[in-house]
Structure 1
Amino acid sequence: MEIKSKDSKPILQFICYILVGASNFILDEIVLNILWFVTGRSVGKINYLFKFISFCIYSTNGYILNKKVTFKKQNKNSSYIDYVSVLALLSAIDAIIVSKFTVHNIFRLHRPLWANICNLIASATTGILGFLINKFIVFKKDE
């Protein structure tokens, strides 16, 4: 029994996308935690800058893995600029969520722990939207 039927392909792509997203999230977390630790700041507007720095690091990783593994694009039609533009928009939304949520620590958790939870919430929120945009626009199969 072969698993790779035409009906299961989007599901497998979504699973791969989640795994690539998880690797990007881990890179994001590492960079953010280093910045939060080094500066001693993890609350509020500073996260716009920190998310931008992190974005610069994980965007290339995500593009290469999604192009080669998730969507298996071999041609040059899928543009790094297109991918980075989508990722930049999603990262900006992430930064807004992290910046706003970190200010409202409703559970009174340790600030860096709360910042990490906020980052996870932000990443999960934009993940599905990112998959749909990448699948149907950036890495669209040429028919």
Structure 2
Amino acid sequence: MNKSFNYKSIIQFITYALVGASNVIIDLIVLNILWFASGMYIGRINYLFKLISFAVYSTTGYLLNKKYTFKTKASIKSYFSYISLLAVLSLMDAIILVKLTRLNPFHLHRGMNANLSAFTAAMATGLIGFIINKFIIFRKKSHKEHPNEMGELH
């Protein structure tokens, strides 16, 4: 395995994690506003709250990952692929969040348990998101896949 590939992948993963952390922070801010405003922290209402929060953080995450993590000139197709993946991951987050907010095994305050549940759900889906984004959505085309000026493949 190539050392520059390892180094580049590690830097990409760290950058992806930082972008992901900013998404989690945005997610938690939106969720906390919704929880506090509604007084509802537990159960299926979190599906709606995750949908609202997803609408807020998804485009920011795409733009940051495109520019800083994967450094690609991504197309509208990659945007929809990214949003679709993020939507699936957000749904997985919501399912985990709904289940964990109902459990509360440590008997925490409902707001604290909801935040811990949201953070746990985000961490559970973050790694799979990186792998799919790196190798499918923001995959850079190899030299062989790019046509030269004469339209021939290398």
User: What is the total number of aligned residue pairs between the two structures?
Assistant: 140
Distance 2:6 2:77 in 1: 23
Distance 2:6 2:40 in 1: 47
Larger radius of gyration: 2
- Please tell me whether residue 84 in structure 1 is matched to residue 72 in structure 2: no
CA deviations over 1:35-73 (Å, ceiling 9, x no partner) = 000000010000000000000000001000000000000
Aligned match of 1:95: 94
- Three-state SS of the structure 1 residue aligned to 2:106 is coil
Please tell me the root mean square deviation across aligned C-alpha atoms, in Å.
1.3
Distance 1:63 1:98 in 2: 23
- Three-state SS of the structure 2 residue aligned to 1:44 is coil
Aligned AA for 2:7? S
User: Percent same amino acid among aligned pairs?
Assistant: 57
Seen in structure 2, the aligned counterparts of structure 1 residues 56 and 75 have a Cα distance that, compared at 3 Å, is: closer
Q: Would you say the 8 A contact 2:101–2:117 is kept in 1?
A: yes
- Three-state SS of the structure 1 residue aligned to 2:5 is coil
Distance 1:36 1:83 in 2: 27
Q: Would you say the 8 A contact 1:101–1:118 is kept in 2?
A: yes
Q: Would you say the 8 A contact 2:74–2:138 is kept in 1?
A: no
TM-score by length of 1: 0.94
Aligned AA for 1:28? D
* Matching of residues 21-100 of structure 1 within 5 Å: 21-76=20-75, 79-100=78-99
Aligned match of 1:110: 109
Aligned AA for 1:66? N
Seen in structure 2, the aligned counterparts of structure 1 residues 82 and 72 have a Cα distance that, compared at 3 Å, is: same
Cα distance, 1:78 vs structure 2? 5.5
Cα distance, 1:107 vs structure 2? 0.8
Q: Which has the higher contact order (CA 8 A, sep 6+)?
A: 1
Q: Which runs of 5+ in 1 are unaligned?
A: none
Aligned AA for 2:54? F
Distance 2:29 2:76 in 1: 32
Q: Which runs of 5+ in 2 are unaligned?
A: 143-154
Cα distance, 1:77 vs structure 2? 6.9
- Three-state SS of the structure 2 residue aligned to 1:7 is helix
Q: Would you say the 8 A contact 1:94–1:123 is kept in 2?
A: yes
Aligned match of 2:13: 14
